Amino acid sequence: MNIAVLDGYTLNPGDNPWTELETLGQVTVYDRTPASQIIERAREAEIILTNKTPLNAETLGHLPALRFIAVTATGYNVVDVAAAAERAIPVANIPVYGTRTVAQHTFALILELCNHVGLHAQSVRDGEWTASIEWCYWKAPVLELDGRILGVVGAGRIGQAVGAIGRAFGMNVWTTPSRSLPSASEPGWSVKSLEEIFRATDVISLHCPQTLSNTGFVNRTLLATMKPTALLINTARGGLIVEQDLADALHAGLLAGAAVDVVSAEPIPADNPLLSAPHCLITPHIAWSSLSARQRLMTATVENVRGFLEGKTPNRVN
């Protein structure tokens, strides 16, 4: 079986080998594949693995040997799944692998906005504590989370994990309605409307998938309803937020801060307005990327491929 990995560096930058996949066929791994080279590299492949390398209808039409597409991620919008289905090519994703690591990164962002650890650590390295006449000082207000309200927009696995961490910090958790939320009946959890969450919570964290209907739903109208002391976190999808509107809101002091791990175009363009917005943390889409999560991702990908070879279609999305 001829297997081509089009952008393997994302999953294995050197610490997460392809050993198990290599037992299933002849594997060729490309660290990354420009759009102009996809057809050339994948023309003979019967199985393709992709993370962010796009496989649109036109490209698929030039891959006559292709029998199966394994997406090494949860999101599979890089593949034209309808075009693949027309040719009876199954497409499979990895629905669960990074719940805990994304939840952990979400709270790393929250705590950085609340405690400003990086700011104060750098201040000490810059000699400010040595020169201080006070035995302690703070360069930004420190916010205690106990008793505050955490608004979780999207109460799936990751949203629930974030809410559980919030409860451990003594926060009350408000979530948007969800059929997958058994925890809503527990003390400290409440189901509220999106409007109520933006209007009244202290920390809002986005964990919903991006769809045609909710793209850009965090806009100037919704941001204007937030408390000026509130924080906004996004570790879901960059397109959920109108970035110019968020930058304008931060400049105007309509909210106290924001932290995002995702933006609408990645890598982030130099003209993204959030780069110059005050009180805005940006990390380079790393919430999912712990070695533990990538190892689970590798294992699940191999199982998807093995399942296909055994005549099954685990995690099929088309």
pLDDT at 92: 98
Q: What is the pLDDT, as a whole number, of residue 99? A: 96
Please give the Cα distance from 237 to 254 (Å, whole number): 22
In Å, what is the CA distance from 137 to each residue of 109, 123, 134?
22, 10, 7
207 given a catalytic annotation:
no
Q: Phi/psi at 276 (nearest 5 deg)?
A: -110, 10
Q: Which of 105, 285, 294, 296 is catalytic?
A: 285
pLDDT of 61 = 96
How much is the pLDDT for 186? 66
Span 2-97+291-309 CATH architecture = 3-Layer(aba) Sandwich (3.40)
Q: Are 19 and 302 in contact (CB under 8 A)?
A: no
Per-residue model confidence (pLDDT) at position 177: 86
Question: What pLDDT sits at residue 46?
Answer: 98
Q: Of 237, 243, 294, 296, which one is the catalytic site residue?
A: 237
Angle between helices 99-115 and 117-125 (to 10 degrees): 60
Going from N- to C-terminal start, the domains of the chain cover 2-97+291-309, 99-282
Contact of 240 with 217, CB cutoff 8 Å: yes
Q: Can 2-97+291-309 and 99-282 be said to share one CATH topology?
A: yes
**DSSP letters of 131-193?**
H-SSS---SSPPPP-TT-EEEEES-SHHHHHHHHHHHHTT-EEEE---TT-GGGGSTTEEE--
Average pLDDT of each block of 10 consecutive residues along the chain (318 residues)? 97 98 98 97 98 97 98 94 97 96 98 98 98 96 97 94 97 88 68 97 96 96 98 98 98 98 97 98 97 98 98 94
Overall fold of domain 99-282: Rossmann fold (3.40.50)
Active site residue 120: no
Phi, psi of 58 (to 5 degrees): -65, -45
What number of CA atoms fall less than 13 Å from residue 260's CA on the CB side?
A: 24
Let me know if 266 is a catalytic residue: yes
Q: 292 φ, ψ to 5°?
A: -60, -45
Backbone angles phi, psi at 258, to 5 degrees: -145, 155
